[in-house]
A and B are shown apart, each in its own frame.
Chain A
Amino acid sequence: AQSVTQLDSHVSVSEGTPVLLRCNYSSSYSPSLFWYVQHPNKGLQLLLKYTSAATLVKGINGFEAEFKKSETSFHLTKPSAHMSDAAEYFCVVSYGNKLVFGAGTILRVKS
């Protein structure tokens, strides 16, 4: 069965320090991969997507993610956290037209 595992339910960083949100997936073939961000009581906003082009994907707000097929990982990074980055982040895998969501990682940014 297809699954997505976000390895940390909560991540806390200081403003200006790097962010790493980890995601592993299971798949028998190369899927499409996404990261979404959700601010409280809001919908989900697409940060970036991987669709079998370059393995390093750049997204909005300075985020990027690297697809590593050998590790079945798609970790999200940002060099320097900003207070406005505090939100919940979802790693999502596409299988055909269906999406499978990870459980989410809540990012806290300390001043």
Chain B
Amino acid sequence: DGGITQSPKYLFRKEGQNVTLSCEQNLNHDAMYWYRQDPGQGLRLIYYSQIVNDFQKGDIAEGYSVSREKKESFPLTVTSAQKNPTAFYLCASSPGGLDNYGYTFGSGTRLTVV
């Protein structure tokens, strides 16, 4: 079955450490996205990529970095510069283009800083 796989499901990080969240899709989608979810705030866009080797900052990109070396993969690194990284992170993909028929979401990674 086609879909998006996020790993790990739960992740613990010590303060001052970088950590990378994995997102892989086999839907042949051009566009991929990373969102952060905090209680009562909906989802906020961190980074997005509409094509391989290209990505743009979203609304809350500070303290995060991404790469898009392959169409299927869009890993997110949470750096030590991110002041409050504890959150639920969701990856999504879409076919891209001008028509938007909705995104497919992964099941999320819950990151906790200890």
Contact of A104 among B40, B88, B107 (CB under 8 A): B40
Contact A43 B108 (CB under 8 A): yes
Known: A43-B90, A98-B48. A9 touches B100 (CB 8 A): no
Question: Chain B interface (Cβ within 8 Å of chain A)?
Answer: 4, 6, 31, 33, 35, 40-45, 48, 50, 88, 90, 92, 94, 96-103, 105-108, 110
Given contacts A97-B94, A97-B96, A104-B40, contact A44 B45 (CB under 8 A): no
**Option from A42, A43, A103 in Cβ contact (under 8 Å) with B42:** A103
> Shortest distance in angstroms between B62's beta carbon and chain A's nearest beta carbon?
18
A49 within 8 A of B: yes
A42, B90: Cα distance in complex, Å: 9
Give the bracket for the number of chain A residues in contact with chain B.
20 to 34
**A43 touching B101, Cβ below 8 Å:** no
> Is B101 a contact partner of A44 (Cβ separation < 8 A)?
no
17 contacts between A and B (CB under 8 A): A41-B110, A43-B105, A43-B107, A44-B92, A45-B105, A49-B101, A96-B98, A96-B100, A97-B31, A97-B98, A98-B45, A99-B33, A99-B43, A102-B42, A103-B40, A103-B42, A104-B42
